[in-house]
């Protein structure tokens, strides 16, 4: 785990398979302690994690707040609308300021908060990472959602054990409201890192980033699995 000290997490592509496995092993150990009714060691005692939310959240905020509390630290929820970021203060200045007071920074920016302009959310997260002096975690942007993907692959490994060659279908349908594709794209990336045979099934016009597809194919270059995409009609 020492190789991850001080590292950012923008996408699961940033970390090696060994680093991802070590992270999941530690998470499983902490879960096991909690299931036994015991408290995990307070490894984050007196540590502060600033969570900057441009976009709302149901699960991500709760997970980070609960995790920090269980490990002895404090997660501070920052609604960016209540700050001066973008109205006189730059991303770089904010990143340096939060680095001074905190031990880590999380950023969540996607969907309406970037007017659905693909790439803008990722650029904000990357700006934070470049300017911050502490680790930055992407809590979901327009392109990636690494913590969601790590949590999902943990469950798959627990149920299926060896993932290489296992078939994995990822599907989505029409919606009355626009939603980002970060979870789908990150899911494809991490699944192919672990050699899964992934099929995407979706309605016409709901394609994901072609560069993500290319990266997923490269992930599979050392395995015998395949990645394919299938357009499917909407279900009535």
- Please name the residue ranges forming H helices in the chain: 17-35, 60-70, 91-101, 120-131, 146-160, 182-193, 210-219
Strand order through the sheet with 167-171: 167-171, 197-202, 227-231
* Low-confidence stretches of the chain (pLDDT beneath 70): 1, 223-236
Helical axes 17-35 vs 146-160, angle rounded to 10°? 70
Same domain, 132 and 172: no
Nearest partner of 34 among 76, 77, 66, 64, judged by Cα: 66
8 is in which domain, residue-wise? 2-141
> So what's the pLDDT on residue 234?
38
> So what's the pLDDT on residue 235?
33
Cα gap 110→162, rounded to integer Å = 33
Cα→Cα distances 88→4, 69, 109, Å? 34, 33, 19
CATH code, domain with 209: 3.40.50.1370
> Does residue 11 form part of some domain?
yes
> Does residue 154 form part of some domain?
no
Last residue of a domain, one of 106, 141, 176: 141
Same domain, 43 and 11: yes
Same domain, 227 and 131: no
Q: Which stretch of DSSP H or E encloses residue 141?
A: strand 136-141
Cα gap 24→203, rounded to integer Å = 33
Residue 161 three-state SS? coil
> So what's the pLDDT on residue 230?
57
> Does residue 118 form part of some domain?
yes
pTM for the whole structure: 0.92
> So what's the pLDDT on residue 231?
53
> So what's the pLDDT on residue 228?
61
What tokens appear for 178 in the block? 């626009």
> So what's the pLDDT on residue 73?
98
Contact 46, 77 (CB under 8 A): no
Same domain, 32 and 121: yes
> So what's the pLDDT on residue 135?
98
Count of structural domains, the chain = 2
């Amino acid at each position: 785990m020492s190789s991850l000290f001080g590292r950012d997490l923008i996408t699961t592509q940033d970390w090696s398979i060994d680093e991802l496995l070590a992270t999941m092993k530690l998470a499983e150990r902490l879960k096991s302690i909690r299931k036994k009714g015991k408290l995990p060691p307070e490894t984050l005692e007196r540590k502060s994690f600033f969570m900057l939310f441009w976009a709302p959240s149901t699960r991500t905020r709760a997970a980070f707040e609960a995790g920090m509390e269980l490990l002895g630290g404090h997660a501070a929820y920052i609604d960016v609308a209540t700050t001066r970021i973008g109205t006189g203060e730059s991303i770089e200045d904010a990143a340096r300021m939060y680095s001074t007071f905190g031990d880590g920074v999380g950023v969540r920016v996607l969907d309406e908060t970037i007017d659905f302009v693909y790439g803008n959310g990722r650029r904000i997260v990357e700006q934070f990472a470049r300017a911050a002096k502490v680790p930055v975690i992407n809590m979901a942007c327009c392109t990636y959602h690494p913590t969601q993907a790590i949590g999902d692959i943990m469950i798959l490994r627990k149920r299926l054990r060896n993932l290489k060659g296992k078939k994995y279908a990822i599907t989505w349908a029409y919606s009355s409201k626009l939603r980002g594709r970060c979870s789908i794209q990150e899911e494809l990336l991490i699944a192919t890192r672990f050699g899964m045979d992934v099929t995407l099934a979706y309605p016409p016009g709901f394609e994901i980033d072609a560069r993500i597809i290319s990266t997923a194919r490269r992930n599979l270059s050392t395995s015998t699995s395949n990645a394919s995409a299938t357009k499917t009609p909407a279900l009535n």
